[in-house]
Structure 1
């Protein structure tokens, strides 16, 4: 056995570094392969640093990947991305008037008693005053332009697939560069979204009704995922062809943030099953979104009525601006997912090329080498590559069987075949975010995005995380319970857009709730209750 195989996805950390996997499960779910991490590693680090530069927090020379992983904002442990809490807090403290502990509190729910203290600085106030307004005004249009440019590239070279004169390795490197460029701008807009969402919440609190915040973010209209779900309904009603649907949405699929997955353009079977389910539904997602929009309009009316007349114009502008921010945020996510799909296609083309040369045994072996190693591989400078692939494939399988703590110091202690908490007798859950109304129904627990499941009217979807590919399934549910996420997560955005009650960020919902349980999802109360266990119900029936 080849013993000198490096492990790009294991990670390393000094003992005193404090890490968390919170808020990263949506962007890149599943355990990454070495290829996945080589797409994300540099891009994610430069992305969040660029957002700080765009607002004037950092000078341009600081937008660079530190050679010391302990000083970076992000890293990878056993195939999962994690945030370096103190490294990010240190940079965030450069924002005047910002308490770095607030970032940790928002992220983790509390602040460590021994957390390092970082004082706010006013040194960059002049730069902030100049750059921040520019970022607020220009980033949205720039993100939309990048989306249109990326979609043109994607339809020209990825779907439908066309022969290219370029070498696959060159296309792969270019796709990663495109992803890095788009993701950096998306990170800027993500911070705009966070700030605007906080401002809306504060406006609701000043008006005397904090619950208005969730309703004000409902039904913003023309959100990508709602359009996708509606197109799938149209496909089920024979108003749209499969080819037309895939040309718009074929870059989506299970675990789509990881290049080492199969998306709908490669395997359309999942959308055929969903289209068949939509064929049985008379109400289209666009109708649900229209109802949610009425909720948002009524919430705005109530907010303005409770706001002093002197502040009403600014409040009205804020609410309308927030709606546009939400639309553009989803556009940015679509753009970088297309770039990832371009990398996915290029990697598989390169894998096929190397299989033909006898270098690799299977096309997907390519996902167990990094892009840098691929550059060496095509030049014949990587010996024993098949042994490297086999070792890393086996290692990744071991990592998939592990669970990591949500927060940890230094290297995490993986939990193999175990769970983090005892959930046997738990019957109530709360989350990091919630909204909508209150619904009772049958729980349908989905832990694997490839899992086939049929949602009947009245069913509640319970899952670990969601990404845009989940939107059509979410639109079939009457309520959502999600382990990972918060008020700014994809699941919350889509739930509000479709008017679906939700509780998100439960951490353990998929382990507490069993498939078939009768549960209540109370959005306003931020509470999920197990009313009747599935097995108990079966026994009672018998």
Structure 2
């Protein structure tokens, strides 16, 4: 027996899965950090699963018969374990094995920052005819389609938010349904971009290695431009009075702490986290090399210089294809970050409609607090709440709070070992101890460790080392102050490393236990070239 999707949506857990099926928190923990609520997972699970399958069908890797949500979580691309999201490694490897130009190992490493020691690639050409017929057109057309969809999402958000406060229950549900459809649409493109960018990054790394310049891909994949660059520019502009708070909110208000969960509170709803950082930006004048615009320019120059070095030793007939691969990889990496911003836009409208619906349910006496709407299933809200849900809500809130204090591993088979956050308290690193991860953004730096759980309530001094489980775009204000970044989760193409490369600070990701073993206040040496983090004081 295996867990059904409906049972998972009810319990927020996959109690019975095949012991051989392998899972990872990987990039799932980055996209959807923290514990899911009943509303959050029931709202997003189906569209997310369909987005994966639509994307693989569009690329020719899947036949039309696979564009459906399976009944069994073991057949899905992702699921929940004790409230925490995880990706099905076997499903991603299954698809990677039919895609030309990549491998299951490459996908596993690039997307999740982890490759199991017994990994064996099993590439097959069975789907190549369909892929050759469909994928090139998709790849060529997706950048412009992606740009158009993102621009439309921005317009849609600004048109929807002002009217939500006056909607009735039916109006809220209509906005939620619209947001859910748009989420699936942007994610179906975004996941394709993620896969293509992974394959392209792998080719860039191969070119660097063939030239005897292993590690150069970190520079070749920097300075690509991203939504986070725009956030940093506008944070600086806001601090210097060049734009208003409302302009900033209109452009970036969909970001904020826990933005990857619908119950999160965005900057649109609370600007306090931004206001607390403005002094840091105000201290950076327009001529300072640390100003966002200068950092971005420096990283673009770094990428250009790295490409010149690579091409100087590349055989003549390979120069043009190599330059093209690097250029296209940069474009797709920028799209990758844009796609994340796109689905966060749909989330921001959905959470506004959900909170308005919560107010309506409080007025009707159905729930006691508007935030309790996030502990009701989306499909139950669509069907109409009957009876008194208070006991169910109270039970789910209690379960939700208990699950906040646990973690699950980076990768495992079957059901994971669940661990309390403080279980590793006795494993603190001492002077000379080293934690290793993925070398994700080049350079070496020494500084004071600041172990951060909540970016909204953290003060960083210039040059501090940001140590955390994972990051999302709402952390960009801390990146601009930090001297380096160390994360538990992620790979070369995860959010934290991409942003670190964009602003030119060292980053080691995928340490798995760094944020639990490194102690706040310790002095660290972060080596973004070797992937080592050493406690030196």
TM-score greater than 0.5 by the shorter chain: yes
Q: C-alpha deviations, 1:126-174, integer Å up to 9, x for none?
A: 1111111012111221111111111111011126866457611121122
Among 294, 301, 323, the alignment partner of 2:301 is 294
Aligned to 2:458: 452
CA distance in structure 1 between the aligned counterparts of 2:530 and 2:379, rounded to whole angstroms: 50
The answer (yes or no) to whether the contact 1:402–1:415 under 8 Å persists in 2 is yes
Q: Contact 1:156/1:162 (CA < 8 Å) preserved in 2?
A: no
Distance across 1 between alignment mates of 2:362 and 2:206:
58
Give, in angstroms, the shift of residue 232 of structure 1: 0.6
Kept in 1, the 8 Å contact 2:448–2:464? The answer is yes
1:322 paired residue number? 329
The alpha-carbon deviation at position 31 of structure 1 amounts to 0.5
**TM-aligned CA distance change 1:517 to 1:350, over 3 Å:** same
Farther-moved stretch of structure 1 (159-168 vs 40-49): 159-168
* 2:362 is the counterpart of 1:355: yes
Q: 1:235 aligns with which of 222, 235, 238?
A: 238
Asked if 1:407 is matched to 2:411, the reply is: yes
> Does structure 2 conserve the Cα–Cα contact (< 8 Å) formed by 1:105 and 1:111?
no
Residue 267 of structure 1, CA deviation = 0.6
Q: Which of these residues, 171, 174, 177, is aligned with residue 173 of structure 1?
A: 177
CA distance change for structure 1 residues 248 and 100 in 2, over 3 Å: closer, same or farther?
closer
Per-residue deviation, 1:220: 2.2
Distance across 2 between alignment mates of 1:494 and 1:108? 16
Q: What is the CA-CA distance between 1:441 and the residue it aligns to?
A: 1.4
Is 2:286 the partner of 1:280?
A: no
Q: Distance in 1 between matches of 2:529 and 2:467?
A: 18
Measured against aligned partners, the alpha-carbon deviations of 1:1-33 in whole angstroms (never above 9, x if no partner) come to xxx998431223334232221221110001110
Shift of 1:395: 0.7
C-alpha displacement of 1:101? 5.4
Deviation at 1:506, TM superposition (A): 1.1
> Is the CA contact (8 Å cut-off) linking 1:251 and 1:338 kept in structure 2?
yes
Which SS does the other structure have where 2:456 is aligned?
Answer: coil
Q: Deviation at 1:399?
A: 1.0
2:439 and 2:527 in contact (8 A); partners too: no
The count of corresponding residues between Structure 1 and Structure 2 is 522
Q: Does the aligned pair in 2 maintain the 1:197–1:322 contact within 8 Å?
A: yes
- Aligned-residue RMSD, C-alpha: 2.3
Match of 2:58 in 1: 54
| Residue of structure 1 equivalent to 2:536 | 531
Q: Does 1:144 align with 2:151?
A: no
8 Å CA contact 1:90, 1:118 repeated in 2: no
Asked if 1 retains the 8 angstrom alpha-carbon contact of 2:8 and 2:80, the reply is no
Q: How much does 1:59 deviate? A: 1.0
Gap regions ≥5 residues in structure 2:
1-6
TM-superposition CA deviations, 1:346-368 (whole Å, max 9, x none): 11011111111111111011000
Q: For 2:272 and 2:262, how far apart are their aligned partners in 1?
A: 19
**Partner residue in 2 for 1:394:** 398
Give TM-score scaled by structure 1 length: 0.91
Partner of 1:481, secondary structure, is strand
CA separation of 1:437/1:160 partners in 2, compared to 1, >3 Å: closer, same or farther? farther
Which moves more between the two structures, 63-72 or 318-327? Answer: 318-327
TM score, norm. by length of structure 2: 0.92
- In the alignment, the residues of structure 1 paired with residue 443 and residue 74 of structure 2 have an alpha-carbon distance, to the nearest angstrom, of 44
Q: Which residue of 2 aligns with 1:537?
A: none
Matched, 1:247 2:254: no
Q: Is 1:424 aligned to residue 428 of structure 2?
A: yes
Which residue of 439, 443, 447 corresponds with 1:441? 447
Residues 415, 139 of structure 1: CA spacing in aligned structure 2 closer, same or farther, 3 A cutoff?
A: same
**Matching residue of 2:3:** none
Q: Which residue of 1 aligns with 2:373?
A: 366
Moved more, 349-358 or 442-451: 442-451
Aligned mate of 1:203, from 194, 204, 207 = 207
Equivalent in the alignment of 1:70: 74
* 1:527 CA drift (Å): 1.4
